[in-house]
Amino acid sequence: MKTSRTLVIALMAFVVAMAASCGIYSFTGASYGTAKTVSIAYFQNRSTYVNSTLSSKITEDLKDRFMSQTPLSLVKENGDLNFEGTITGYTITTAAIKAGETAASNRLTITMKVTFTNQTAPENDFDKSYSRYADYEVSSSFAAVESELVDEIVKLLIDDIFNDSVVNW
């Protein structure tokens, strides 16, 4: 009985020591070193087709992700972690063709360019393009499904940006 209790205590001490040795780490997988602040500039929409709410949605969703999954404080500019970027594409293309060479489904693709600067660990800086898409049936009007598609794509883009900047797995 005493041996199993000693084993449990030793195992718990080992787990705590391992977690402490990894530096600042969260259960979401985010690792942000000694950074205390994050700044996220407004993502301008420079695509040919402009969705009027897309810039705000991407900017606010990225802020929300950092506020909900890290203890970093949001500042207007010059954060320890800094994000800037532009939306470079918002396109609809044919995704699949059915018999008779007519479209079966269409694809909305959103492309963006992101510059990430880490003042506390400059080796993690990047300037990267991201692109995600979602398909919808041609029988649905784009206007009817656009909001749902944008939500789905933006979530994927935010996942990619968050993972590349602070998860580093």
* pLDDT tier, 5 (very low <50, low <70, confident <90, very high otherwise): low
* pLDDT tier, 27 (very low <50, low <70, confident <90, very high otherwise): very low
Query: Mean of the per-residue pLDDT values for the chain?
Result: 86
CA gap 72, 30 in Å, rounded: 11
Is the pLDDT at 17 greater than 60? The verdict is no
In terms of Cβ atoms closer than 10 Å to its own Cβ (0-12, 13-18, 19+), residue 87 is buried
Q: 10 Å Cβ neighbour count for 150?
A: 19
Percent of the chain predicted with pLDDT > 70: 78
Q: At a CB cut-off of 8 Å and minimum separation 6, what does 89 contact?
A: 47, 48, 109, 110, 111, 112, 131
Percent of the chain predicted with pLDDT > 90: 69
CA gap 31, 105 in Å, rounded: 39
Is the pLDDT at 47 greater than 90? The verdict is yes
Judged by average pLDDT, the poorest of 2-11, 12-21, 25-34, 110-119 is 12-21
Q: What is the pTM of this model?
A: 0.80
